[in-house]
Amino acid sequence: MDTQQIAATVAGAGDLTALEDVRVRLLGKKGEITGMLKQLGGLAPEERAAFGAQVNALKAEAQALLDARKSELEGAAEAASLDAGWMDVTAPAPERPLGRLHPITLLLEEVIDHFTGLGFEIASGPDIEDSFHNFDALNIPKDHPARDVWDTFYTDRGEIPRTHTSSVQIRTMMNRTPPMRILAPGRVFRNETIDATHHASFHQVEGLLVDRQVSVAHLKHTLETLVDRVIGRGLKTRFRPAFYPFVEPGLDLDVSCVFCHGKGCGVCKQSGWIELIPGGLVHPNVLRACGHDPDEWQAYAFGMGFDRMVMLRYGIDDIRRLYDGRLSLVRQF
């Protein structure tokens, strides 16, 4: 085998795999050139030097040809890969659907903006509460129906997935010195029968203002302003006396049903009104439980079922639509 034959063999390798086969055939342990070196032992001493030099030169030439062909094949493979993955960076990008915020998130951002403009701070607390923060400090007695398993979920360890974000108010009052204004939005959990206006897990937004000489008039103005801002001006509202252990006096703010315009429907249970925001002046016992003198400080508090407000704002007639995970809902916003 001479240099021309080696060059032709190497050049005939069409890819890296074929080239490796050629290398093994020429320079492997049983290769042709390697076999020529094994012949040195059978030659006369005076012939070995010349023959060895010729074979080593042939080996070096073969290796050089193999290296050159390998570089050539690798370059061709890289070029082919680049051609296959070529992209015109000046071409317009394919259209992709944009994400949308959930209507609960949209309205919550608006409510937060409204109250922060009034000087309220945003407060938060744990989703899993103890009896003290969820019930005791809120003047809810041990035998109150709200503590029953029909209304409240309990963990195996007796902990409570919070039934309201009032627990955030308690934690804040226990760790702050009045005056204070906080808004506590968050997820709450109740052992409710799910229907068009009730759900076992929903959102609540609670507000608390602690200061001197706080009255029901301040609370009514706050809630009426909120309804005007969030749901719409001109919507009929009414306040009704109500009992809640943690406020005295207590009241409910109702709004006229936007679905039937007061005529009566399934959403408003034929009453023409939707209960929206319970509230009242914080009970003196709650202030005392949090370490504040009710003779010096007064407070109002309210807690809205926020999902109902979303329904009224956007004309959604069933709370279950907010949680069924359908993209068709969020794509409308």
- Mark whether 301 is an active-site residue: yes
- Mark whether 164 is an active-site residue: yes
C-beta atoms surrounding 206 within 10 Å: 25
Whole-number Å distance between alpha carbons of 250 and 62: 99
- Mark whether 292 is an active-site residue: no
DSSP state of 272: S
Q: Which of 23, 69, 164, 292 is catalytic?
A: 164
Q: Which of 190, 203, 283, 308 is catalytic?
A: 190
- Mark whether 76 is an active-site residue: no
DSSP state of 283: P
**Burial group, residue 131, by CB count within 10 angstroms (0-12, 13-18, 19+):** middle
The strand ranges marked E within 121-234 are: 121-122, 128-129, 160-161, 180-189, 201-211
Helix, strand, or coil here: 107? helix
Residues 11-32: b if buried by 16+ CB within 10 A, e if exposed: eebeeeeebeebbeebeeeebb
What CA–CA distances, in Å, run from 30 to 16, 34, 63, 289? Answer: 20, 6, 16, 94
- Beta strands at 237-242 and 180-189: parallel, antiparallel or unpaired: unpaired
Q: Which of 55, 62, 181, 204 is catalytic?
A: 204
Q: Which of 184, 227, 247, 286 is catalytic?
A: 247
- Mark whether 190 is an active-site residue: yes
Q: Which two tokens stand for residue 30?
A: 């049983």
Residue 172 and residue 180 in contact, taking contact as beta carbons nearer than 8 Å? yes
Whole-number Å distance between alpha carbons of 171 and 181: 13
Q: Which of 24, 25, 64, 150 is catalytic?
A: 150
CA 230, 245, 274, 104 torsion: positive or negative? positive
Catalytic residue set: 150, 164, 190, 204, 247, 301
